[in-house]
Amino acid sequence: MRRKGFLIVLSGPSGAGKNSVMNAVFPTIPNLKYSISVTTRPPRKGEVEGVDYFFRTEEEFDELIRQDKLLEYASFVGYRYGTPKDFVLEQIAEGNTVIMDIDIHGASQIREKMPEAVFVFLLPPTREELQKRLTLRGSEAEEAIKQRLQKSAEELKNIIHYDYFIINDQLSKAAEQLRHIIMSEWSRVSRVDIEELQKLWKGWGNS
């Protein structure tokens, strides 16, 4: 039975484990697609157009903005990144679930353009655990970690704008919760072709 696809937006503080949870869910849902971003930065060795990113010039990126072809966009270390609207809508039209991980600001932009999307907030179990995870990365100084923790506290205030939350205290458990959310969303009546469903139940409504 054909069903309408949808977009699921995953947000959460750095260190919450968004990528790990998504990677654990992908093998369990065949029609789950990752949202490929468009960027102005040059491709790195081994990166493939349309697989890792859609690589565009600054002028082309400006044109995407002008034509309202991006669901959201932002700048990072001198380059711009965005979510191409056409890619997401095409995948949804094909009956796929599109998932993306993005910060609260990007999610806010998407919420304005696609309020029907499903928004999920991923949390570490405690502030102490988040600090531990950030420290174990070994890639940032103590001051940078402190700033991330402060930012995380601010991000948490936005959880009221999300549909679901998941506490990632155990990866397998968090991934299973995300999988259940996606499967539950697939069961919404609004995503089903009612006429097709009626054909499966001949005489439905005549008894």
What is the tens place of the pLDDT at every residue in 121-163?
Answer: 999 888 787 777 777 776 667 777 777 777 777 888 899 999 9
- What pLDDT does residue 144 have? 73
- Across all residues in the chain, what is the average pLDDT? 89
Q: Cα separations (Å) of 27 from 7, 21, 22, 120, 167?
A: 18, 11, 10, 19, 21
From 5, 70, 11, select the one nearest 40 (Cα to Cα).
70
- What pLDDT does residue 153 have? 78
- What pLDDT does residue 140 have? 65
Query: Where in the chain are the domains?
Result: 6-35+95-200
The yes or no reply on domain 6-35+95-200 and CATH 3.40.50.300 is: yes
Where is pLDDT greater, at 197 or 84?
84
When pLDDT is cut at 50, 70 and 90, the band that residue 190 belongs to is confident
Q: For the beta carbon of residue 179, count every other beta carbon within 10 angstroms.
A: 17
